[in-house]
Structure 1
């Protein structure tokens, strides 16, 4: 085992005391898997990289599976990883609840839910801890929270614009009704 590769991995993780997961803290793929780049500039999935460093080569054509009890795709703990095939991978995903009823992307969250996530992030919580805490009372994935964090300014601007449109759409009919009522009162006052 190469010491500098191990040090690179250890310096890039947060070890969860509750789950034993070694959660990758650096770059992640769109799907939430850790990404590591070697000295040659080649990018690898961090869990595959860690497995090969600690346990040896992954057989040709094999899938590298997270154990069903592993709670994060960003986990690189070699004891949470094993080689398998596509069928086992799908069975593990279903058993862990990572396949069926996948959480929707950020669009499915309400403005209030996004604000709650932003408050938790402002309070120092990580995307991982928010995802695990169930702060919203429903499942929200770590990658979804990381996406919100990364694109916060644009999301908040879009939410503010939507809120203004909603307020305008509510006020416009009220304004019209008020104008009609004022006109009616004026005509009644003139008739009297």
Structure 2
């Protein structure tokens, strides 16, 4: 293509970057993204998000943050999806405090978080044992069955069974129906508790 004198355009770059991502060649995708940026300082949101997706897969939270700040500085309209990908990179890298900072920055930027934002943030906080922050997130958002299920799963996996039971009953009081995995986890832990008491 180049040898015939044709110049690559946004469609070319989107296709190449997307192909590398789909082939699980995340480091190569980020390398190509840097080459694209050197050729063309103004890259589109789709290219940036594909690069952020690669950062998330690799757990490259620092690279994801750098890219986010560059996107904001360049005047690109940063979407909820972009912030979610950065929070996801922090989750993969087990950097819950950084994920929380990105979340606060996102809100400060008047970007509205969605269920995916909160799920990623909650999972990150659970693995970091930031239980107060988990509770604060649940208090901040309208009752959401996905979030309650995620927190109960996390609490059970981390041995916080009593907290999980309280949240399970609170979930039911809110009129939310737990999924099958949550019900099974709670049934298993409630039976174990009864057995230990006997």
What TM bracket, shorter-length normalisation? under 0.3
Computing the radius of gyration from Cα coordinates, the structure with the larger value is: 1
More helix by share: 2
Structure scoring higher RCO (CA < 8 A, sep ≥ 6) equals 1
The TM-score normalised by the length of structure 1 is 0.26
The TM-score normalised by the length of structure 2 is 0.25
